[in-house]
Structure 1
Amino acid sequence: MKKKVVILGGGVAGMSAAHELIERGFDVALYEYKKIPGGKARSMPVPGSGTDGRFDLPGEHGFRFFPGFYRHITDTMKRIPYGQNENGVFDNLVPVPRMGMARFDHPLTVLLSSFPSSIEDLKTALRSIIDSDLNLSEDEIELAAAKTWQVMSSCRERKLLEYQNISWWEFIDAENQSVHYQKFFATITRTLVAAKAKESNTKTIGDVAAALFLDMLTPGVTNDRVLNGPTNDVWIGPWLHFLQEKGVDYHLGAEVTSIQCKNNAITSVTVVENGETHTVGGDYFLSALPVEVFAKLISDEMLVEAPNLAAIQKLSTSVQWMTGIQYYLKEDVEVVRGHVAYMDSPWALTSISQIQFWDGYDIRNRGDGTVKGILSVDVSDWTTPGILFGKTAMECTKEEIHQEVWEQIKRSLNHTEVVLDDEMLHSSFLDPDIQFLNPRDKINLEPLLVNNVHTFDLRPFAYTRIPNLFLASDYVRTNTDLASMEAANEAARRAVNCILDAADSDAPPCEIFEMYEHDLLTLWHKHDKKRFEQGLPWEGKILDTKRFSIHALAEILF
């Protein structure tokens, strides 16, 4: 008989686990609280926006970003059928050739997101160097380069055991540098991943930054990709259809309210579905719930059997808010063909103009038919006062949030010419995960885990001391080491491999990919690993292989 796996949570982690399990012959039932699949990766309709038979306008929890170094989630996407696509929904990813850096006191700087592939790209690269005007001293540029090299050339062991416990702010010596240095190299962390430079650890920030940087310098590598339509249209929806066709029993609008544990085993979970409460049993239980949700379900009985689960409850406090707002425009304003980081915005905004990437998508069939452009924005800082009302996002009403974000974007883009004006604005939509308890007090139903210093030891493995309980979410220990859809997918693969082992299954294990490994740097990594094992610090210089004999090189390598 098939072994039954009960999956709690239907975001990327839950759907990834269901995908791997159903293909390996398990009976899979999945329970998702929301009525739309996909978790943080989902898109959603704007309620009531469609008129005269048109569909509702598309909204997003936050815009999607698929860096070139992602390997797990893109591998899964290739196995999700989509029309005549040879590589399934993976072929719905399109390259993003540019990115923008917007500031209050400087025109938009356009940068390349990948290695130049044309004369026009080369011109853009050279122009961006001239126009960037970052006001950094030569010493600060040299320091930034040295710190980047240090992260790139450090061994994995040093990163894991040393850099996990050093804040990014401390590592780059931001405290002793200019405001301009702090703004560019330190505060950009909150723009990219809602991480505060003084709290987030160097390994996570450094690994991601180095990977993005190296991919930009590697010919043929696409450093940034986005989907060619609303997320649920071109990815999540087809994925759900595929899973259900394969036999996954996928329940939407089903809230897991408790987990029953007895005699060192999970016996069942309690689910509220369509207003009715029932229990669900199974052989194995896999939690793909966000850390802050699962932490509340950990019972005293579970802690008796697996005391280390208490660390998850502590880890659940390491979350920040990173939430999307869409601005629907009466004309399509591309801004730049890629993502834009608003360096001076107090609320750490990033945006992308979406329609330019949605080839074949007719926005005229949405809303009232007059929307021609969508500016999708992420708000990553909810605790710094804004420029319009002088209040934090936490203190603002919904309407004040819409006005404040719009004003910060306009002030960043409108310099030598007016890129955005109020007449262009049709309407806006704030992610409904932001729930207003009253006009100003609010909660976020889906905050984002941030890898702060001294939190790595709190992060669990995909298995637990309860033999039939497994964990698959972006807070699990992974090679990805960043709260993202990539980490969620990798965590799901690890959890499935643990279930295969527990079930004595002869099905092939899920592939786990290495991350942040660069063959060109192998020599330096081995050299630093040897120093680390001897208790020595990172050497601080570029290894000149010409000065080494064959024997010396062999000693380093082997």
Structure 2
Amino acid sequence: MSDDQQFPASTSGGGAAREGFSRRTVLRGSAAAAVLAGTATALPHAHVPSAGAVPRSGRGRGRDVAVFGGGMSGLAAAHELVERGFAVTVYEPAYLGGKARSHDVPGTASGGRLALPGEHGFRFFPSCYQHVPEMMERIPLGRSNVRDQHLISVESATIAFDESGYAPTTAPASLLGLVDHAPEIVTLENLRNAMMTGLKFVVDVPLTELAYFVSRELVIATSCTERRIGQWENQSWMQFVKAKGKSRAYQRYLVGALTRALVAAKPDSASARTIGQIGLALTTAASGLIPQYQSGLVIGDVDRILNRPTNHAWIDPWVAHLRSRGVRFVMGAGLAQLDVARGRITGARLTTGTTVESDWYVAAMPIDRLKPLLSPQLVSADPTLAGIHRLQDDWMVGIQYFLSRRSELPPGHIAALGTPWALTGLYQAPPWKVDFSRKYGDGRVKDCLSIDISEWEKPGILYGKPAKQCTEQEIAREVWAQMSRAMNAGGRKILRSADIVTWSLDPGITWSPTIANATPLMVNTAGSYAHRPNAHTKIPNLFIGGDHVRSNIDLATMEGANESGRRVTNAIIAAADSPAQDATLFPLWELPMLDPLKQIDRDRYRAGLPHILDV
């Protein structure tokens, strides 16, 4: 029987119908003093306070806040505002947690076990994320908190290529990762694969091109802010790294696949500034040279995940905490219209027919939900909001394969570079340290391979169709086929169709009658920064949250959305003339030794000269 013939059907009913101390803990604790001292070293005049609870003072103008949208930005704003004495009501039409939520796969629980855990896509918390982990630390969980209990370091990564001659290779993410998982990493097979793949990569991508690619990241690192915004923002990443005329492997892997795997962006349209800055942040954080990131190739924590389904580990405790602080949640109620008069919001009409009146209004929703609300009256009151219509979104969702055999790979992410649908994955049982068969489903499932699909418009290898033209079953078969071709290229059959018990595609994908996605992701296309809103608007009682808001992280992520919720808070504090302390905003830390080079570039940019390394 062929793999295609024995491929099981989904049980989700999704689209068609629709503890203790570890060495890492000790090291992190011993590094605390260095982190505090390093802040003064890296930025001697910087002060990064922690957000504390501010009681009601009776001063200021207006304390009632209506937050429309219970995703990452809405929950972050609610958290910061309620700590500062504001009365917050969150209105959410569907699910709290937004694109960050997880869900139970319907009809899969039995024998006292939990339902199989489904996700919009597996969670990824690189160490350059600061806002989300800091807020997790402020969510109590017994005598601990969400961050300490559920955010763990990923200790390895598996790289596979969708091309013959490349064998999948597992590498440690840190020195501790190597020590902890040496039996799985330092094997004859893995060392042989690493040598084969490394040699082929050097042959396919000439050393001169590798050096040039690194030099382009150095250009970003030493560019002043003015050049990043004024020049690199208006180029695509593909243009910036000058892929035209380079080798096929340079274009396919260094420029294309790496960009898709790390930031889920299309290099031919994504802003060079955005991709360059986030690439710089990831590599800087991994280097261990910035103490504020509390990470490095020795101590780890460069790549982090949750050790449980997202809702169980994070969203549910968060919502419970916010309720305990007084945040009110109104479910099944979306924002249908904002009424404007004399340049202010006078009321918000809900999809339920109710009108909400508040002192402050926060539109914390993705751009596909925000655009229909931008009435002529709203745009007339703040013409800059018209730019939101020019922002673009794309699809990136997850599919989970529930398997009867536990993975033999060490815990870590999988990047299947060059796969047509830009696949990345994560086995969940090893890092979760859970017996799947005892905890989830009907007892047959021992592991879960969670895969993100980042490309929906390129033809696949089974049906020759892009994902947007496939049925739910075709998507499941196609993703498995692409991942299998990359992962099994070394001769060992890591993925076997016979192991699949069932699978579940993100229920946000529906066919009614044509394919649709309820949770698209904003993409930072070249030149899009000019059209992105600030958290505050020219309408004095309207604020905008979401990963499309201008932020330091500057990428459509949980981190960017969380940061925007903090920016909303600070704007409301200012508008309300509140004595409350501002919510903490973290920069993307960069090496202070580069500041003199940035100043040279600032002088050159103002004189109309190119970057000194832009050759």
**TM-score, normalised to structure 1's length?**
0.91
1:540 is aligned to 613
Shift of 1:278: 1.2
1:15-94 equivalence runs, <5 A: 15-34=75-94, 36-85=95-144, 87-94=145-152
1: distance between equivalents of 2:524 and 2:191?
A: 35
1:504 is aligned to 577
1:107-186 equivalence runs, <5 A: 107-114=167-174, 128=194, 131-132=197-198, 133-134=200-201, 135-186=204-255
1:235-314 equivalence runs, <5 A: 235-272=314-351, 276-314=352-390
Task: Select between 164-173 and 533-542 the one with higher mean Cα deviation.
Answer: 533-542
Task: Answer yes or no: is the 8 Å Cα contact 1:115–1:217 preserved in 2.
Answer: no
Shift of 1:129: 6.6
2:275 is aligned to 205
Task: Answer yes or no: is the 8 Å Cα contact 2:270–2:526 preserved in 1.
Answer: yes
Shift of 1:117: 6.9
Shift of 1:90: 4.5
1:374 aligns with 2:448: yes
1:449 aligns with 2:530: no
2:426 counterpart SS class: strand
Shift of 1:237: 0.5
1:488 is aligned to 561
Distance 1:430 1:266, change over 3 A: same
2:88 counterpart SS class: strand
2:532 is aligned to 459
Task: Answer yes or no: is the 8 Å Cα contact 2:543–2:568 preserved in 1.
Answer: yes
2:598 is aligned to 525
Distance 1:204 1:129, change over 3 A: farther
2: distance between equivalents of 1:313 and 1:397?
A: 30
2:324 counterpart SS class: helix
What is the one-letter code of the residue matched to 2:161?
R
- How big is each residue's C-alpha offset from its partner over 1:451-484, in whole Å with a ceiling of 9 and x where there is no partner? 0111110011111111100011100111110000
Task: Answer yes or no: is the 8 Å Cα contact 1:115–1:221 preserved in 2.
Answer: yes
2: distance between equivalents of 1:156 and 1:370?
A: 54
Q: Give the total of aligned pairs.
A: 533
1:433 is aligned to 508
**Structure 1 runs of 4+ off > 6 angstroms?**
119-127
2:474 to 400, 404, 422: 400
- How big is each residue's C-alpha offset from its partner over 1:93-127, in whole Å with a ceiling of 9 and x where there is no partner? 11112112112322102234346776688987998
Distance 1:235 1:196, change over 3 A: same
1: distance between equivalents of 2:438 and 2:176?
A: 35
1: distance between equivalents of 2:325 and 2:346?
A: 26
Question: Cα RMSD between the aligned structures?
Answer: 2.2
1:554 is aligned to none
- How big is each residue's C-alpha offset from its partner over 1:154-196, in whole Å with a ceiling of 9 and x where there is no partner? 2222212211011110111111111100111221222333321
1:8 is aligned to 68
Distance 1:503 1:22, change over 3 A: same
1:186 counterpart SS class: helix
Task: Select between 149-158 and 503-512 the one with higher mean Cα deviation.
Answer: 149-158
Task: Answer yes or no: is the 8 Å Cα contact 2:253–2:418 preserved in 1.
Answer: no
2: distance between equivalents of 1:282 and 1:138?
A: 61
Task: Answer yes or no: is the 8 Å Cα contact 1:478–1:491 preserved in 2.
Answer: yes
1: distance between equivalents of 2:220 and 2:151?
A: 29
Task: Answer yes or no: is the 8 Å Cα contact 1:207–1:516 preserved in 2.
Answer: no
What is the one-letter code of the residue matched to 2:355?
T
1: distance between equivalents of 2:355 and 2:523?
A: 33
What 5-or-longer segments of structure 2 have no aligned partner? Answer: 1-57, 289-295
1:334-353 equivalence runs, <5 A: 334-353=408-427
Task: Select between 202-211 and 385-394 the one with higher mean Cα deviation.
Answer: 202-211
2: distance between equivalents of 1:84 and 1:270?
A: 41
Shift of 1:349: 0.5
Task: Answer yes or no: is the 8 Å Cα contact 1:115–1:216 preserved in 2.
Answer: no
Shift of 1:53: 3.8
Task: Answer yes or no: is the 8 Å Cα contact 1:114–1:217 preserved in 2.
Answer: no
What is the one-letter code of the residue matched to 1:436?
W
What 5-or-longer segments of structure 1 have no aligned partner? Answer: 543-558
Task: Select between 239-248 and 301-310 the one with higher mean Cα deviation.
Answer: 301-310
Distance 1:121 1:406, change over 3 A: closer
2: distance between equivalents of 1:20 and 1:54?
A: 36
1:95 is aligned to 153
Shift of 1:520: 3.8
Task: Answer yes or no: is the 8 Å Cα contact 2:91–2:329 preserved in 1.
Answer: yes
Distance 1:120 1:24, change over 3 A: closer
1: distance between equivalents of 2:400 and 2:92?
A: 25
Task: Answer yes or no: is the 8 Å Cα contact 2:155–2:177 preserved in 1.
Answer: no
